[in-house]
Amino acid sequence: MDYSLLVKKRKKSNDNFANYTKFMKRGLLKTFEIPSSILLNYLLHLEHHYRDNPYHNQVHAADVTQSVNVLISSPALQNVFSELEVLASIFAGAIHDVDHPGFTNHYLINTNSELAIMYNDESVLEQHHLAVAFKLLQDSNCNFIVSLNKKQRQLFRKLTIEMVLATDMSKHMSILADLKTMVEAKKVAGSSVLTLDKTDRIQVMQTMIHLADLSNPTKPIDLYSIWVKNIMEEYWRQGDRERDLGIDISPMCDRNNITIAKSQVGFIDFIVHPLFETWADLVNPHAQYILDQLEFNREWYQTRIPEEQEKHDVIMIEENDANVESTTIFQSSQQQSSPNEISNLKQFDSTKETKE
């Protein structure tokens, strides 16, 4: 199963079809009596609610959905999840960033935005994505889960909420800690077969969508580098806005002071690799190919750090020289009197002498 989606020259209709195909191939339409026309209508409306951001857009959502679909298909997880849990997982991937404004939670909170006020500074974006997605389901022409009974709908909603909230990066360390605990429990049990209760399954589902959301560094390098370009452009736009507002520029958001290769190596070392390495321990050995690609990509960026740093240093020196030159010119202009000032001074002295 293909773990990656192409990000060049994609049409939104391709992403709708890709998501629809996931529901269909897994037999979810038949299992839950999902009307295909209503599902397609929902996906179409969902597409319209994704904005044309450089990174947080419909293509990213489709890529995350595809990654969730692959992760949940791991042989180690075969027969672990119920059909409803699979349905919620695919759905959560598709909606997890809908109506993303292209700014981070930190920015929205720091600028006292309407969304931050509405959600009390708590997982602002994630709560908004959920609200938009479930609001769409209230339209009878989009309610593809119409055949689910009340208990199923409640569980579907609960699972989706749990998963999308797990994409808040502030939850990363707790998700990683829970995953490590699960791996240790598996080792103690001495079994290669995963035995998960309801709580464990929800934790694994949360981990999967978090993994999928952070999976760019595990994709082929040509795709990964495109994702990096896109996310950096989105960050820089935020930084430009912060600069215009006169507030502190968020980390990674200053287009005038960033080393991309170094930041990606750090991102892999401290965030992505520990998470995927622990995941690989859980589903061993079925995630080794992901780790291999991740390590290749890290090395690819690592080799580019010296050249990038050299270019960065040159730019900083040039900017510093320009600032020094501007300061010197300004100081010189302050010290030298203009012809008009000299003329006025002479007239003042002449008047003074006449009076005396």
Q: Report how far residue 219's alpha carbon sits from residue 31's, in angstroms, rounded to the nearest whole number.
A: 32
CA geometry: angle 342, 343, 347, nearest 5 deg = 115
Assess contact for 264 and 232: CB atoms under 8 A: no
Q: Is 210 annotated as a binding residue?
A: no
- Give how far Cα 232 sits from Cα of 63, 126, 240, 312, 329, Å: 18, 21, 12, 16, 35
Q: Is 97 annotated as a binding residue?
A: yes
Reported residue count of the chain is 356
- Write down the catalytic residue from 56, 106, 210, 312: 56
Q: Please report the sign of the dihedral spanned by the C-alpha atoms of residue 276, residue 278, residue 281, residue 282.
A: negative
Q: Is 321 annotated as a binding residue?
A: no
Q: Report how far residue 247's alpha carbon sits from residue 199's, in angstroms, rounded to the nearest whole number.
A: 42
SS3 138: coil
SS3 326: helix
Residues 6+ apart with CB under 8 A from 174: none
CA geometry: angle 167, 19, 210, nearest 5 deg = 15
Tell me what pLDDT residue 336 has.
58
Which pTM value belongs to this model? 0.87
- Whether the upstream peptide bond of residue 285 has omega within 30° of 0, thus cis, is yes
- 56 has catalytic annotation: yes
Phi, psi of 197 (to 5 degrees): -85, -175
DSSP secondary structure letter of residue 77: G
Q: Is 244 annotated as a binding residue?
A: no
Q: Is 58 annotated as a binding residue?
A: yes
* Tens of pLDDT, residue by residue, the chain (356 residues): 566 655 554 555 577 778 999 999 999 999 999 999 999 999 999 999 999 999 999 999 999 999 999 999 999 999 999 999 999 999 999 999 999 999 999 999 999 999 999 999 999 999 999 999 999 999 999 999 999 999 999 999 999 999 999 999 999 999 999 999 999 998 888 877 788 999 999 999 999 999 999 999 999 999 999 999 999 999 999 999 999 999 999 999 999 888 999 999 999 999 999 999 999 999 988 899 999 999 999 999 999 999 998 887 777 676 666 666 566 665 666 665 555 554 554 554 555 444 44
Return the structure tokens found at 62. Answer: 């489709």
